[in-house]
Amino acid sequence: MASTTQAATFSFVQETLLFYLNGKRVELLASEIDPNQTLAEFVRGRGLSGTKIGCSEGGCGACTVMISSWVPETNAVEHRSVAACLLPLAYVDHMLVTTVEGIAPAIGMHPIQQHIAAKHGTQCGYCTPGVVMSVYSTAMRNPSLSMSDVEQCLDGNLCRCTGYRSILEAARSIAVDYTPSSDGKLSKAAAVTPVCARTFVQNAVTFPDELRQPLRPLRLIGKSAAWYRPVALSELLDLKCAVPNAEVVAGKHSFPEHALEKPQVISGNTEIGYQARYHPRPPGSYQSFVSTTAIPELKAVKWTEQGVSVGAGTTINGLIKTLKNPSPSIGTPNVHQQEGFSAICHLLQYFANNQVRDMGTIGGSLVTCDPLSDLYPALIAMNSVVRLASKAGQRELLLDDFVLGENKTALKPDEVVMSVFIPFSQENEFVETFKESKRRVDAQAMVNGGFRARLQQREGKWCVEKCVLAVGALGSRAGLRMKSTESFLEGKEISLETLSSTSAVMQEELKASVVHSRGAAAYRVSVACSMLCRFFASIAAKKGITDVAERLHSALPDYSHPVHTGTQDYADPSPGSSVGSPVPHMAAEKHAKGTAEFVADIPIPQGCLYAAYTLSKRAHARILRIDKSTALAVPGVVAVIDASDIPGINLLGSIATDEEVLASKEVVFYAQPVAIVVAESHHAAHTAALQVNVTYEDLASIQTIEEAVASNSFLCEEKLLEKGNANDVFKSWPADQIVSGTIRSGGQEHFYIEPQAALVVPSSGNYLVRVTSQNPSKMQRAVASVLGIPANRVESRMERIGGGFGGKQDRPQFLAAACALASHITERPVKMVLERDQDMQITGQRHEFKTDYKVAYSRDGTIEAVSLEMYSNGGCSLDLSPAVMEVAMFAFDCCYRFPAIRITGKCCRTHRVSCTAYRGFGKPQAMVVTEGVIDRVARACGIAVQNVRDANVLRMGDKLTDGTPVEEQFFACWEPLRQKFAQKQKEVLQFNSENIYRKRGVSLVPSRNNIGFEADCLNQGGCIVNVYLDGTVFVSHGGSEMGQGLSTKVAQVTADALHIPLSLVFVGATATDRVPNTTATAASTGTDLNAGAALDAATKLRARLDAVADEAGIDRADWNKVVSEAYGRRVWLSEIGHTVFEKFAYDWHTKVGRSTLYHIWGAALAVVELDVLTGHSRTLSVDVIQDLGRSVNPAIDVGQVEGGIMQGIGLYTLEEFSWAKDGHLRTRNVSTYKIPTHDDTPTEMNVSLLKSSRSALGVHGQKSPSEVGVQLSACVLSAIKDAVYASCPSNTTHIQIDTPATCEKIRAACPSHF
């Protein structure tokens, strides 16, 4: 019993959770919910699977929903877009929750959904519902939004497929300033009527009267957690004073003793939800949460003549809105008064993402006191004051004094942050805020800052009277004041000399403060100094200090959000033919409405269990003991399985079976699966998986290529590829015309938005396997092998996957086998869905490459001989590493005429997860080497890099390394862009002559792609086509639909061959009992193999039906009548199709064969703008001319090109792995691994498909677009290099920038100005 002095009484009168879900009332008893459950988990459990889970961090946008609540102060409904994967279910009490399923009419689609679907704004469709809901909720909040507003609202929505251009073009059609003339050819062809948001927002949401009633205190006591929602500040303070053993009485109810164990105050749950995800409490511990969402005092906004006080419960978006809209009660503030407010808003637009800004609050950010906080530097610069409240009263502190250290504040245990007061800026006071991060939007700061200076005029010169320089993400505390620099600057004139001397002082102060453990210390210091330059530039521009303004004009902060545009050009389809028509993806409407079913969405069979991996905590070690006892004691756990439980073979693989499903005696990479926990719930399985205790004996670990080479650790024999005699050339060539060096290209995570998942259902010794896989038959064979049963007892079926890019080609076999093993042992259905961080650790990545090169060249830039030693980090097993290396070796010559080439390729064995297939399959790595060699020769010769390209580019009659000739299609791609390059180059040179701190670069690169597997047996495809009596047609092929539009193209080819409308054709799921021995949808073969098989089947069917029509005297065009007649004549209305490629594969022993079935040519021209002070770049334009033969579907093909380009931009400039010394991957979710967002899309993206091309070997003359875009994006990397060279014209030496060319690497390559 607690002492009476500690006891507190609360009036918690509501003990059920009440909210509306898509207009339907939901009321839950406390016993029916778990306060730890998220909103996403709940709605998905209700069958609303349009709300996807992609990251569980609130960073991918797939789970976006809208929540609406009544605001008594404004007598209005407030709409917010939120990340449902972070939001606790209990948070939405007395709110209206709207998911993607809830916005469409009973029949048809919402205008946003319609435009997304019709304008090709979806490919795999996994991210699409989240995109729709982000745009919808933003429109509901602001019906008068502009096109720029629409684009900015998508900063928290990731897409790995489309390249974003089509999404942005479709979404902005609801904007007030939208005009159809801004659309490209594809959107115009969709002919969708634009609908302004102002039109559909009216009466779009019916807010229930029940939810308008005053809120009551809420108390929900669950088995493992408690949730409290006080409605007054006094109640919150009572809870803060409560102790774990206090007896707390609410009415007639008593809280259990553990109910208030260290209660955590919840505002938006953006930080606590993240921490709970990665630092879960041990099983059996109890948590208490206190929500502040209903406390009016914490949401109060009070304007005075001095400034504004904003309640700590105000969201970040709410703060932005407040600062942009001063209360009429104080009149209209002067421009100078809003200087600081504008600066704060500029910074906060880059605070996380729109969903987090709509959830996260001022108080949550201040109490967390993260040194990386974006809020602190801005508020400290403004001399903001924080108000704290406790039962004893209130007190105020300068925010700068509130911070005591890293994640440490002056907040007492019994206090809460009540509000923050932000003063107006004064006359002659200037404020700027800054943020630099790995990615411009939705990324933690590498360094940020808030600078304020008050000027006074002395002897006609403007001098600094007082200043505050607060820098964040650099030191050990949030918003670190540069006090020495402030003291030095005060009293000094705003001049270039002052900037130089102050920068020197600041640099020393920063060096003494920087936290080195966060990495990139030198970069952080350099960028922090550049913020001072920008500050001076801003002040000089505003005050008209001419000499400073003119010198620094290109250093001014850039807050612009240009609207993205693009054009498309392609051959118009032949009248009456489905082939060549830019029809939308066949599942586009399902994607947009959220009804497309993915593996994780499949309704759970009765008695279904959930499985989770226990992952190793060593990179290389012997397993001495696996202790399952603690895990088995976790409630809900059914079984813990290890390698000894496998009835079949514990080895799987790609080229060879050399990797264990579960580590038996030795782990060979960090996070290797060691055990499988099977439980009654997903949460229980993952909780218990952490409780499996494994005892290890550490062994020596090899992590890098250098370590592998030193240890002679390789996966396979060395490969050798030669053309001419490079060794002889080097022997005779002048030494001063030979250069050598090393080029590195980093790995890349596939980052499909849909994590890998599996569902296995047993039935009388048979198994139905549903896996997120590009290779259904591989899954079938893996399950059969591990279970020790015949393949005919396993059916592998898949309808769609949410992106693959090679990552779901072979690696999912391990997940399929693990899930099947759990099902086999428990004799129950089992579902297994990987968390994002697990997926990234165990499913493999793109190969990291290191290439040592030597080049002989002539003075005019002609390359005479090249010798390469290529090394890849293959990881712990063979996988597909040899094939990736072989493709890279053949891809090196690209579109250049190198007369003598000698390439050796070695695949290193290391103790990392096995690297695997990835879109481009070695060609992107080779492209880096090719263009790197071209660049090196250009610098050695002292001539422009484009001139070296011109000197070495292919000419008609030339042959490639494999002996195949160049085709005229290449020149049709190259020559028009070569002419455009000349004009772009003039514009770039003009810009560079006028700007010091911003430089532009331009580059044109050629591209050549291959198609087909090296193993001839894989170059075959199968299909079945059934015709039904109502005239409809069913098709099932052997490929995997992963967003690339394969099934749409198959349907188009089938309809064309049968001479029927496309609407009559339906393409069903791929299943091994329909089409056996399927080939992986990979190597750019999907369309040619599967549409080729469909063409074969449909052609034979059509011939059979034409014969019937002719015999019966029926018009062949009367489809239904012909079908009926055929059935009456007992003609079989089904056909199997099969197609094979002609044999072409290169034999590495005899050196005979080709590297590809056919060549796919292209070229791309990029212009970028580089911020020399920070190393950040923006792609201004990309122009592409691509040879895709006779495109089956130009809309899909253009989307594939654009998506590949964005994936390549990520590879070459942004996406970076960080590996710890012990072998674990640090960058394993959206918070630490950054893929491109819509903001990284080229401002102008123009894609043209050759109109006169036709492949002799592709289906209907088509060529595959699947991988071409990745290599084309090398133009952006080369343009960045061009801009770097422009930043230091006096430096004529070569600058090597390894990929990814991150802002840190680029900044290091640029000259230092301070």
Give the residue numbers marked as catalytic.
1267
Token look-up 């880096």 returns 928
Please tell me the distance from the alpha carbon of residue 63 to that of residue 847, in angstroms, as a whole number: 31
Tokens encoding 176: 């007030």
Token look-up 């065009």 returns 1117
Report the DSSP pairing between strands 1033-1037 and 1020-1027: antiparallel
Please tell me the distance from the alpha carbon of residue 1 to that of residue 86, in angstroms, as a whole number: 36
Please tell me the distance from the alpha carbon of residue 1054 to that of residue 1044, in angstroms, as a whole number: 17
Element (H, E) at 689: helix 682-689
Identify the bridge partners of residue 1023 per DSSP, sorted by sequence position.
1037, 1137
The region that residue 646 occupies, defined by phi over 0 for left and psi between -120 and 50 for alpha, beta otherwise, is beta
Sequence-ordered list of residues with C-beta below 8 angstroms from that of 66, at least 6 positions apart, any chain = 79, 80, 81, 82, 97, 98, 133, 136, 137, 140
Q: What DSSP character marks residue 663?
A: -
Token look-up 């040879």 returns 1187
> HEC string of 588-602?
HHHHHHCCCCCHHHC
Report the DSSP pairing between strands 1065-1067 and 863-875: unpaired
Q: What DSSP character marks residue 280?
A: P
Are the C-beta atoms of 141 and 135 separated by less than 8 Å?
Answer: no
Percent helix, strand and coil across the chain, each to the nearest 5: 35, 25, 40
- Exposure letters 1022-1040 (e unless 16+ CB within 10 A, then b): bbbbbbeeeeebbbbbbbb
Report the DSSP pairing between strands 445-458 and 461-472: antiparallel
Please tell me the distance from the alpha carbon of residue 803 to that of residue 127, in angstroms, as a whole number: 10
Quote the Cα angle for 634-636-641, to 5°. 75
Please tell me the distance from the alpha carbon of residue 856 to that of residue 733, in angstroms, as a whole number: 7
Token look-up 């205190």 returns 217
Closest alpha carbon to 360 in 295, 316, 298, 311? 316
Q: Is 462 exposed, middle or buried (0-12, 13-18, 19+ CB in 10 A)?
A: buried
Instruction: Find the distance separating the first CA and the last CA of the chain, reported in whole Å.
Output: 65
The three-class DSSP label of residue 904 is strand
Backbone angles phi, psi at 1248, to 5 degrees: -125, 130
Element (H, E) at 1232: none
Q: Is 1246 exposed, middle or buried (0-12, 13-18, 19+ CB in 10 A)?
A: buried
Backbone angles phi, psi at 613, to 5 degrees: -85, 145
Q: Is the dihedral of CA 779, 785, 790, 794 positive or negative?
A: negative
Element (H, E) at 1194: helix 1194-1213
E strand intervals along 1160-1257 = 1160-1171, 1177-1186, 1244-1249
Token look-up 């002052």 returns 498
Helices 1046-1058, 1092-1112: axis angle to 10 degrees equals: 20
Instruction: Report how far Cα 985 is from the mean position of its chain's Cα atoms.
Output: 32
